Amino acid sequence: MRDPNEPGKKSSKRFLLTFAVLLALFYAIIALHPVNDHVVVPFTGAVARVSGRILNVLGERVSVSGTAITSNAFTVNIENGCNGLETALLLAAAVLAFPASWRQRVAGFLLGFAAIELVNLVRVVSLFWIGAHRPRWFGSAHTLVWQSLVVLAGVGLFVLWASIVTQKSSRPAAR
């Protein structure tokens, strides 16, 4: 039987507490109207513009206005929660709470953020295509499939990063 005061238990509790506090703080910050209006909405508009460009390359003939992507067949408005930021904040809180060097944390977050946004672009483009060509599937694809996949991507990226960081720190130093 293990002692509950072992360093592993303490560091796990510290990680979970720090993660929860950071996650709550990050979500509170993006909920503030000035942050939403001057950071989140412009970021979401950029996601819409990039998605619109990809859709046009794929032959969909769309236009973008703000956070809305429109064609003759379908319109989608990218809202908060659909821009990848919430998953990126989940990743940021986990990476910052994890015991690693600041260099490893910054690299982990930046690479993870880029990967999450790439997955999210695939999400937006595919959901637009589904809405335009298979509208009956849109609700399920949006709510059941893609919401889960984006969050799972964030969690998976954290687990991958944490395992790499842990392996590097457990290797003996080269002489």
Per residue in 102-148, pLDDT (tens digit) is 999 999 999 999 999 999 999 999 999 999 999 999 999 999 999 99
- Please give the pLDDT value at position 9: 74
**What's the pLDDT at 171?**
67
**pLDDT reported for residue 7:** 54
End-to-end alpha-carbon separation of the chain, Å? 37
In angstroms, the CA 58 to CA 61 distance is 8
Q: Which phi and psi angles does 71 have, rounded to 5°?
A: -135, 180
